Copies of this chain bind each other. A is one copy, B any other.
């Protein structure tokens, strides 16, 4: 009898990814299937089961080899109840009893978690946060999400709203509007969408000069990546936009450093591709913004697991549940 194995499943708006993970957080490989949420939630639940089965088969294992399962999904959700409520990225799903369905089908201890929280737990267990005692993860994409891990605690919150880091308010007057409808959220300043919007505003200003003006007229328009590329190529307008983005992210980090005070602040998402120079800009602003001791000691890093963090973290949630149930071996 070897060490216990776990399956993690990360359900996204476009694809779901499942993989078998060993007791040290090492992945034995993963499979990806299209989510096709439009086909309805019954189909969705069956596809989740199929993903789990394929992940196990792909690792040359049987379900009997699996000690526990973890499933991560986007919100909105009721984490303790194991239910997805009304997920904007999984329409038309509504009140889907994910955890109990999976547990019933496979007859395994099944954990349920928010996807960004799971990604944070994955990075904490097996990625950048491996040596940390506590970690705050910012997920940067269309929106800004996040997760907070303190010791073995995934801070899911009392109403499943823990770690909604994109929706801390960092500006009160003349604040930009967020995708959530509120004003002044971190996401309204630092998401990829926000970067593009701020770029469009900057380009529309009288006398604005930038190589991005050409790009803006092309099909598809400007992406956040274009702005970073232009900044790297020496474009002054793009550089200012990137510098502002680093500042906004540092404000988000500062607010976590003065409340959670974690060992590490970690960023994940497309932004990682820009490279270490952008992280250095965030670090510079953090040093200026935060209190001396956390400014000096808190590590500011990129994530290392990429899109595997979600299912690895989901598996970590399954593992945590199994340990809690006293089932650390195969069952």
Contacts and interface: CB of A to CB of B under 8 A. Distances in A.
Interface stretch (A48-56, A147-155, A305-313): A147-155
Contacts of A97: none
A210 interface: no
Which secondary structure characterizes the binding site on chain A?
loop
Contacts of A165: 258-259
Choose among A76, A163, A173, A259 the residue with the greatest number of B CB atoms under 10 Å from its CB: A259
Contact of A261 (B151, B160, B180, B261): B160
A180 B298 CA distance: 20
Contacts of A173: 171, 173-174
Contact of A251 (B163, B172, B256): B172
Contact of A256 (B150, B156, B180, B259): B259
Contact of A255 (B157, B169, B289, B298): B169
Interface string A106-136: 0000000000000000000000000001100
A217 interface: no
Interface string A167-183: 11111111000001010
Interface of A: 76, 133-134, 148, 150-151, 153, 155-165, 167-174, 180, 182, 247-248, 251, 254-263, 289, 291, 293-294, 297-298
A172 B169 contact: no
Given A171-B173, A172-B251, A173-B173, A260 B162 contact: yes
Contacts of A158: 133-134, 261-263, 297-298
A182 B261 CA distance: 18
Contacts of A163: 259
Given A156-B261, A168-B168, A172-B251, 4 more contacts: A159-B298, A169-B170, A169-B254, A172-B248
A165 to B, nearest CB: 6
A155 B173 CA distance: 31
A250 B302 CA distance: 32
Choose among A158, A160, A180, A262 the residue with the greatest number of B CB atoms under 10 Å from its CB: A158
A182 B295 CA distance: 13
17 contacts: A148-B259, A150-B155, A155-B260, A157-B294, A158-B263, A159-B261, A159-B293, A159-B297, A160-B261, A161-B257, A164-B261, A169-B170, A170-B172, A173-B173, A180-B291, A259-B259, A259-B260
Choose among A76, A133, A164 the residue with the greatest number of B CB atoms under 10 Å from its CB: A164
